[in-house]
Amino acid sequence: MQFGIMSVSDITRDPVSGRTPSEAERIENIVKIAVHAEEVGLDVFAIGEHHNPPFFSSSPTTLLAHIAALTKTLTVTTSTTLITTNDPVRLAEEYAMLQHLAKGRMDLMLGRGNTAPVYPWFGQDIRQGLPLALENYNLLHRLWREDVVDWEGQFRTPLQGFTSTPRPLDDVPPFVWHGSIRTPEIAEQAAFYGNGYFANNIFWPKEHYKRLITFYRQRFEHYGHGTRKQAVVGLGGQAFIAKNSQEAHDQFRPYFDEAPVYGNGPRMEDFEEMTPLSVGSPQEVIDKTLTFREAFGDYQRQLFLIDHAGLPVDMVLHQLDMLGEHVVPVLREELESRRDPEAPSNPPSHADLVKAKYGDATPRQPRPNANRGDNVTGGSPYQDSESAVDSYPTL
């Protein structure tokens, strides 16, 4: 099973020191956090996407490519990539490039986000959020699998004789997760394509997420991708760890009480009771996390949110030390010992996807045909391509 951390890239005032970090500091520190995640034995680092203050991650692929260059085993991913307001053509190109630079150590999670003004900023209508999400991924899926795409939809200009470049690494698209906390249509889309489903598992009681995860598993089996137990599920969660429960609560309370998303609301202890938030000793965090499997079944990826609400970087790095030394090793052993033999241990890696497509054969390495003089290749984009371009758009 994979364990890692996810960040929403917030820049929040530290309520203890009263200091707000600069964008430059926060960007530098998130790289330190990601690198340290690998150093303590975690598997995954995920970054969100936002296009407004007080967040910094407007270009996830740039950040993740840099982190991939500084690490050796860490899988880099998103939490989430905005499928609604990004052009699927650009997503196809940017994440294929990241896949090459990371040597396959990446995947991505698609979602609609939770910032309403982003829609008009990028020329979209929030009332069309769900149709946008469905149509845009349907196109993205084709762009990664077809050398030449002719396409017409509702929300972008048509494509005529279009080839997305670079082609995916080894001509195998990245693994995709669909993230949603309330929309069965997104769970349906994940199941239809045999992709992963991710529930952020932060703000709501487990019954809320259980309905969507159960529905996704049912539909995954319905579409013939495997049994319900073989469906690929990821979960989020929040944790703050100290030597004992009292110390953990004392340290985290000022950050919880003034957190923009749930501060000035319920008591921390009540929020812990109602939601997956876990504040306590390593054993308490272990025990709370083990209840996730009891509620949702065997799953393949667990991401913890640990760098939000103004927590200073030294405290976050210490949280990583606690996770890596005291929590994750026990969770790995416990969850693996309880796993149903039918359920996969991990989500598909790039190597797994290459093996599934090619077996022992050599993966395809696309080589373009020659430039015919006007910056296009003519009838066929690649030397081995069976796809042909009937015509390019005319001016």
The lowest-confidence range among 14-28, 38-52, 193-207, 208-222 is 193-207
pLDDT tens string 319-338: 999 999 999 999 999 999 99
- CA 321 – CA 39 distance, rounded (Å): 9
| Both tokens assigned to 85 | 């307001």
Contact 220, 226 (CB under 8 A): yes
Q: Has residue 116 got a pLDDT over 90?
A: no
Q: Has residue 326 been placed in a domain?
A: yes
Please list, in sequence order, all residues whose beta carbon lies within 8 angstroms of the beta carbon of residue 218, skipping any fewer than 6 positions away.
191, 228
Region 101-124: what's the mean pLDDT?
A: 91
- CA 223 – CA 215 distance, rounded (Å): 12
Region 347-360: what's the mean pLDDT?
A: 98
CA–CA distances in Å: residue 112 to residues 200, 217, 377: 13, 21, 36
Query: Residue 71 belongs to a domain with what CATH number?
Result: 3.20.20.30
- CA 176 – CA 194 distance, rounded (Å): 9
Strand 233-235 with 301-305, pairing: parallel
| CB-count exposure of residue 182 (10 Å: 0-12, 13-18, 19+) | exposed
Q: Has residue 392 been placed in a domain?
A: no
Given this model, what pLDDT does residue 263 score? Answer: 67
What percent of the chain is modeled with pLDDT above 90? Answer: 83
Give the domain range for residue 116.
Answer: 2-358
Q: Has residue 393 been placed in a domain?
A: no
Q: How many domains is the chain partitioned into structurally? A: 1
Identify the bridge partners of residue 240 per DSSP, sorted by sequence position.
Answer: 279
| Both tokens assigned to 212 | 């969507």
Q: Has residue 374 been placed in a domain?
A: no
Q: Has residue 365 been placed in a domain?
A: no
The edge-to-edge listing of strands for the beta sheet with 44-47 is 75-78, 44-47, 2-7, 301-305, 233-235, 196-199, 176-179, 108-111, 81-82
Q: Has residue 372 got a pLDDT over 70?
A: yes
Given this model, what pLDDT does residue 204 score? Answer: 79
Query: Of 162, 236, 178, 202, nearest to 3 (Cα)?
Result: 236
| Both tokens assigned to 222 | 């319905």
Contact 380, 392 (CB under 8 A): no
| Both tokens assigned to 42 | 């975690």
Q: Has residue 84 been placed in a domain?
A: yes
Model confidence at 264, in pLDDT bands (50, 70, 90)?
confident
DSSP string for 21-57: --HHHHHHHHHHHHHHHHHTT--EEEE----STTB--
Tally of CA atoms within 13 A in the half-sphere of 234 that contains its CB: 35
pLDDT tens string 164-199: 999 999 999 999 999 988 889 999 999 999 999 999
Q: Has residue 379 been placed in a domain?
A: no
Q: Has residue 81 been placed in a domain?
A: yes
Please list, in sequence order, all residues whose beta carbon lies within 8 angstroms of the beta carbon of residue 222, skipping any fewer than 6 positions away.
191
